[in-house]
Amino acid sequence: MKKKRKIQLARHAGFCFGVRRALKIAENSLTRKKPTVFCWGELIHNACVVQDLEKKGLRVVKDLKAIPRCGHLIIRSHGAAPEVFNAAKKRGINIIDATCPFVRKAQAIARDFYQKNYQVVIVGDKQHPEIIGIRANTKNTAIVVSGEKEAAQIKNFPRIGLLIQTTGKIELLKEVAAKLLEKTKNLTVANTICLNSFFKKEEIKEMAKDVNILLVIGDRKSNNTKKLAEVGLSYGIKTYRIESAAEIQNAWLKGKTKIGLTAGASTPDVLIKQVEEKIKFF
């Protein structure tokens, strides 16, 4: 007889507070200010959602020159450099700020460290828009490291202020902090990991005790989806990263009775539901 399959869906799977908020802001702006609503990069890392917003009139831009005077520019949840805000204002563009409050807090902490003459160090991905925006708040003086190996290359400083990308891992922050204690006598650490990212990772830790495999749903461009998959692997769970139910392979599920399911912060509920349905009837 075929064994019943148990699906464990993480409570915080999918859209986070910051993404929901940014989407609501975009939808409202499109209703009221159409057809002049632009977005500074893709609103969220999900192709379906971005295409849907484009159909409703949202235009993604990477250059302020593409926006007419009196146009409306949404700053997405990742935030942007102060220079973007200033240049947009100078061009007569109206800013609709959807920066996530967790990101705004990280920017304020970085700025405060910088103003107090700390060498700012950020744990994160140098190319990620959130990090580019946070770093810009230190007049681009902050050093960005991906982990303790890069932290070991930093020279000594009288004082260091350390923070981390909002989607980072607490273990990574601790490792880098330990390394930086060899570089300074005055280290101040700010845990800037957002609650949603923290809970998502804790849920994987819990699931690791029970499930046979873990499916992480999210766009290939989504950094936090990538991080969730890394967390699954770090706990020794066979982990697969997928964008949709269509990518699930029969061989992954064969003989597996306990499947863990989670999804990145930009993954809509409908995609999670489709994956759940597909696994149920496999």
Query: What are the catalytic residues?
Result: 130
Considering the complex, state which of residue 71 and residue 232 has its C-beta at the smaller distance from ligand SF4.
232
Considering only 119, 167, 225, 239, the residue that binds ligand SF4 (CB under 6 A) is 167
Does residue 110 bind ligand SF4 (CB under 6 A)?
no
What minimum distance in Å lies between the beta carbon of 224 and ligand SF4? 6
What minimum distance in Å lies between the beta carbon of 16 and ligand SF4? 3
Does residue 99 bind ligand SF4 (CB under 6 A)?
no
Span near ligand SF4 by CB under 6 A; candidates 66-74, 86-94, 168-176, 193-201: 193-201
Considering the complex, state which of residue 72 and residue 200 has its C-beta at the smaller distance from ligand SF4.
200
CB 113 within 8 A of CB 188: yes
Does residue 100 bind ligand SF4 (CB under 6 A)?
yes
- Phi first, then psi, for residue 255 (nearest 5°) are 75, 0
CB 272 within 8 A of CB 259: no
Considering the complex, state which of residue 144 and residue 187 has its C-beta at the smaller distance from ligand SF4.
144
Q: Is 99 left (phi over 0), alpha (psi -120 to 50) or beta?
A: beta
Does residue 77 bind ligand SF4 (CB under 6 A)?
yes
DSSP assignment of 211-231: -SEEEEE--TT-HHHHHHHHH
What minimum distance in Å lies between the beta carbon of 129 and ligand SF4? 11
Binders of ligand SF4 among residues 232 to 271 (CB under 6 A) are 265
For residues 122 and 226, what is the distance between their CA atoms, to the nearest angstrom? 19
Count of alpha carbons within 13 angstroms of residue 19, beta-carbon side: 23
Span near ligand SF4 by CB under 6 A; candidates 99-107, 115-123, 131-139, 144-152: 99-107
Does residue 199 bind ligand SF4 (CB under 6 A)?
no
Considering the complex, state which of residue 217 and residue 248 has its C-beta at the smaller distance from ligand SF4.
217
Q: What is the DSSP letter of 110?
A: H
Considering the complex, state which of residue 18 and residue 232 has its C-beta at the smaller distance from ligand SF4.
18
Binders of ligand SF4 among residues 9 to 38 (CB under 6 A) are 16-19
For residues 20 and 166, what is the distance between their CA atoms, to the nearest angstrom? 16
Contacts to ligand SF4 by CB under 6 A:
16-19, 77, 100, 102-103, 166-167, 194, 196-197, 224, 265
